[in-house]
Amino acid sequence: MCVFHIDERNPALPTRVKSLLINPLKHNEALQARTCDKQGVAVEFDKNTGTCIAGGVELLKLRTTPIARQKDTRHPALEVYKFTPCIDSTLIPCADSVVVQYNATCAALAKDILQKKSSTNKKLKSLISGGNVFVSPGMNGSAQQGVADAEYIGNDKYALFSLLNEMYGDTTDTGQVQKNIKMLQKDVLFRQLLDPETLQPCLDLVIENMTTQRLSIVEVGGVRMMQYLEPLLVKRPNVKHSYCFTSLDSSSEQVSEVENIHWSLDECLPTSVQKPHLIMLDNILHREKHIENSLENILESIENDGFLLVHEQTRNFGLSLALNVSDMLCEDSQANRNLGLFCTADQLKQMFLSAGCEIIVERSDRFTSSLFLLRKKHELAIDKQLFLDVSDTTCFWVEELKSTIAILQSKPEGENLWLRADNDFTGILGLVNCLRKEPGGKKIR
């Protein structure tokens, strides 16, 4: 009652009292005097004297302190857990009919541009006749209908159409197109695999296999994929992360408040830079003269348990070829390529394996791109691995676990302790996550 009469929206907590008197006998009499229809003791509060009396209890001048409500700035995370195969070569379907129609419109426009350019480029003409330029449905039709689709103009989601529309008007003037080529990073056809549903499992795999509390990320060629990964990291406040990007040449765009490192994939990451846990490449590999050598340098530049996230165009090469024929048909980079500089998903996978990568995640959309999560392949000697069964809920294995972890401290890299359980509810996943954060936990699997 001393608190309820205060006209204050914020909660108030009692902090001081002048006197508190408790008479057990009087209070017991008050309880005995209750009638059957009353469940408690009457309370009297005198606002003038600040006295509150209930039976044999008397409070005098109770003081309260208002406290501010804590503002929760975090948004609730609504998640759905479902099994998704990590390696899936089937194309992800697109339920958005607008995007499907947009793909067909751009493809028809690009096809007409390439046919115009092929009249003066014999090599391009032979490539087009080979049938490897477009592989998605919707290639037939005239570009005139696409040019009339003014709804795509001025929208960053449909940047490809704007660029193709400029090229359709004058196929010889590529200067303005090259100035705006970075607009393609936001085009819906090239961003299908960078949605949270596809990126979240990749990020979870990286975080769950970390042995430190801080995730170090390096993106090659500018800030591209990080803008899609950052919102997912915000949902994991317990994971601290650092981020920087690398520029392949001096002409690369500078980004304020983000560390920029000059790094050519022809060599390993500079020794002045700490090896990251995750390196990301967004349509970078196809521009390298020797992809296998670049991959080997990247693998040498990441932590032993680090990951490589690769996003590459592996389909419908004509959409990009129409914008820049001269660069995409470079003579120096034709080995093991499908069309000009481009490689299919199967060709990239073969290069990954040749460079010593292990494919952890593989996803492809039906329009342009494929996404790969890679890791350096490690050959483990089975006879040097230790195994411990933790199925027994009485935890008799704890002492053996402690002694084994101590022994592993002096063992060389590659000798690990594998925990296994036969029961459904053993808590083994949580146990492993906790143990990996302890000294010597890097060798627990």
Strand residue runs (E) in 289-366: 307-313, 357-365
Residue 354 belongs to a domain = yes
Residue 201 belongs to a domain = yes
> How many Å apart are CA 429 and CA 444, to the nearest integer?
11
In the prediction, which pLDDT does 373 show? 93
Q: Tell me: do 390 and 427 sit in the same domain.
A: yes
What DSSP letter does each residue of 27-84 carry, written as one string?
HHHHHHT--TT--S--EEEETTTTEEEETTEEEEEEEEEE-PPPP--SPP--------
Domain end residue (candidates: 173, 188, 203): 188
Q: Tell me: do 205 and 347 sit in the same domain.
A: yes
In the prediction, which pLDDT does 179 show? 55
Number of domains composing the chain:
4
CATH number of the domain enclosing 332: 3.40.50.150
Residue 4 belongs to a domain = no
Residue entry with tokens 């302190």: 65
Which residues on adjacent β-strands are paired with residue 320?
none
Q: Tell me: do 58 and 162 sit in the same domain.
A: no
Q: Tell me: do 261 and 283 sit in the same domain.
A: yes
CB 194 within 8 A of CB 169: no
CB 192 within 8 A of CB 222: no
> How many Å apart are CA 187 and CA 84, to the nearest integer?
26
Q: Tell me: do 323 and 425 sit in the same domain.
A: no
Q: Tell me: do 272 and 329 sit in the same domain.
A: yes
Percentage helix, strand, coil, to 5, in the chain? 35, 20, 45
CB 378 within 8 A of CB 201: no
Domain that holds residue 41: 12-66
Domain end residue (candidates: 361, 376, 391): 376
* pLDDT averaged per 10 residues, the chain (length 445): 63 82 86 72 83 86 76 66 71 77 84 78 67 52 46 76 75 53 77 87 86 84 83 83 77 63 85 87 86 88 88 85 65 61 87 88 88 84 80 81 82 80 76 78 78
Q: Tell me: do 61 and 100 sit in the same domain.
A: no
In the prediction, which pLDDT does 310 show? 93
Q: Tell me: do 305 and 230 sit in the same domain.
A: yes
Residue 77 belongs to a domain = no
DSSP secondary-structure letter at 251?
T
The tally of CA atoms less than 13 A away on the side-chain side of residue 335 is 7
Two structure tokens written together for 1: 């009652």
Please tell me whether residue 219 adopts helix, strand or coil conformation: strand
In the prediction, which pLDDT does 237 show? 77
Residue 74 belongs to a domain = no
In the prediction, which pLDDT does 328 show? 60
In the prediction, which pLDDT does 129 show? 64
Q: Tell me: do 212 and 357 sit in the same domain.
A: yes
Residue 2 belongs to a domain = no
Please tell me whether residue 104 adopts helix, strand or coil conformation: helix
Hey, how many other C-beta atoms are within 10 angstroms of the C-beta on 7?
4
Residue 230 belongs to a domain = yes
> How many Å apart are CA 14 and CA 380, to the nearest integer?
63
Q: Tell me: do 362 and 265 sit in the same domain.
A: yes
Work out whether the CA dihedral 226, 232, 236, 237 comes out positive or negative: positive
Tens digits of residue pLDDT in 55-110: 888 888 888 777 776 666 666 667 666 666 777 767 777 767 888 888 888 888 88
Residue 79 belongs to a domain = no
Two structure tokens written together for 263: 């790094």
Q: Tell me: do 27 and 91 sit in the same domain.
A: no
Domain end residue (candidates: 188, 211, 242): 188
Q: Tell me: do 311 and 223 sit in the same domain.
A: yes
Two structure tokens written together for 76: 């609730």
Which residues on adjacent β-strands are paired with residue 280?
219, 309
